[in-house]
Amino acid sequence: MFILEKNNSVANHFLAELRDKNHQKDRLRFRRNLERLGEIMAYEISKTLTYRDVYVETPLGTKKSRLILEQPIIISVMRAALPFYQGFLNFFDLADSGFIGAYRKEEENVNEGIEIEYLYQATPDINNKNLILVDPMLATGKSIVKTIENLQIKGIAQNIHIVSVIAAPEGVRYVNENVKIPFKLWICSLDERLNEKSYIIPGLGDAGDLCFGNKI
């Protein structure tokens, strides 16, 4: 598991602003900070991909360079992931994309645990591809597991990178216990725990609402 905030970098400034309830009043900046973190995580993941040698003709000569052999596929779990996903697309600008519609059911009785409603899937062929699955909040981990299960119906990826901004230990544990194919987890920050309603503590609140406004 890669944890970005373990090393000092400017990324910690963006993460701190995401959490700060005063900065959260600026919806545009909140989205931009998610996008910035997406760009940084895209860069980190790019180091693990396979590269090939190419020769670039300049006006004055030829220079050997190393370029990504095959672009990854980026899958976004809507809606909170959209700014975070845009950061990945800014760096992997030739990548194909897919979109998942999944959300937690808001039930009055939470004693039975959180259930995930999976409503929408539009994805390219993922067979033998590098798959980057982006969702900014890894709380219970159930939406990620359900997404991977549904994606596997259409094909088997070569590598899966699960990327979140903030994760809870419970969600990390659930993913590790229930995803049966190889994957790597990339997060910006690992928080303390989930509360009784399965929200991440200290977290940052509802990322989707902070990006786009309160839902009804």
Residue 213 pLDDT > 70, yes or no? Answer: yes
**How distant is the alpha carbon of residue 72 from its chain centre?**
14
CATH of the domain at 46: 3.40.50.2020
177 falls in which pLDDT band (50, 70, 90)?
A: very high
- Per-position DSSP letters for 46-115, written without gaps between them: HTTS-EEEEEEEETTEEEEEEEESS--EEEEEETTHHHHHHHHHHHSTT-EEEEEEEEE---S--TT---
Mean pLDDT, rounded, of the chain: 93
Report the pLDDT value the prediction gives residue 102, as an integer from 0 to 100: 80
User: In this predicted model, what pLDDT tens digit does every residue of 187-210 receive, in sequence order?
Assistant: 999 999 999 999 999 999 999 999
Strands 200-201 vs 51-58: parallel, antiparallel or unpaired? unpaired
Backbone angles phi, psi at 34, to 5 degrees: -60, -40
Report the pLDDT value the prediction gives residue 118, as an integer from 0 to 100: 83
Range of the domain at 120: 2-212
Give the Cα separation of 106 and 171 in Å (integer): 18
Is 28 or 79 the better-scoring residue by pLDDT?
28
User: In this predicted model, what pLDDT tens digit does every residue of 108-147 receive, in sequence order?
Assistant: 444 456 777 888 999 999 999 999 999 999 999 999 999 9
Residue 82 pLDDT > 60, yes or no? Answer: yes
Kindly report which listed range (70-84, 98-112, 140-154, 200-214) carries the lowest average pLDDT score: 98-112
State the Cα angle at 36 between 7 and 66, rounded to 5°.
80
Give the Cα separation of 84 and 133 in Å (integer): 11
Domain total in the chain = 1
